[in-house]
Amino acid sequence: MDERKLNRQMEKYTLRGHSLFGIRNKNEVRVIAQMERILQENPGFDPDSLDFEDIYALALNKLPARYVQHGSIVLGEPVRDADVADAVRYAISVVRDNPSYKKR
């Protein structure tokens, strides 16, 4: 992403001069890590960019949001790794078995 585009994105997350850009759903990185691991369990499935995006979005939508900002103290983690893995497996099966677009 070029610098101008990044600046425009950051502006969308600014309120009264305060940046909210750094607040993220804690499950995002967890889903990506599980996607890498679980996709290896599906050797016949060769996802493209749209497949990755669909899997990522579907898995995140199956999990409760866990928003944090830099420096947050997390006292407990109600979303278990097994829950994240189950959400990713579900998303992979949906995308693999029911692609929402025609392959090129």
User: For the residues 8-30, what does the mean pLDDT come to?
Assistant: 90
Q: Token pair 């679980």 is at which residue?
A: 38
For the ranges 16-25, 43-52, 87-96, the maximum mean pLDDT occurs at 87-96
Residues in the chain: 104
pTM: 0.82
pLDDT tens, 35-73?
999 999 988 899 999 999 999 999 999 999 988 887 777
Q: Which long-range contacts (CB under 8 A, 24 or more apart) does 71-80 make?
A: 74/26, 79/27, 79/30
Cβ 91 vs Cβ 55: under 8 Å? yes
Q: What's the angle, vertex CA 45, arms to CA 26 and CA 90, rounded to 5?
A: 45
Question: At 1, is the pLDDT very low, low, confident or very high (cuts 50, 70, 90)?
Answer: low
Q: What is the mean pLDDT of the chain?
A: 89
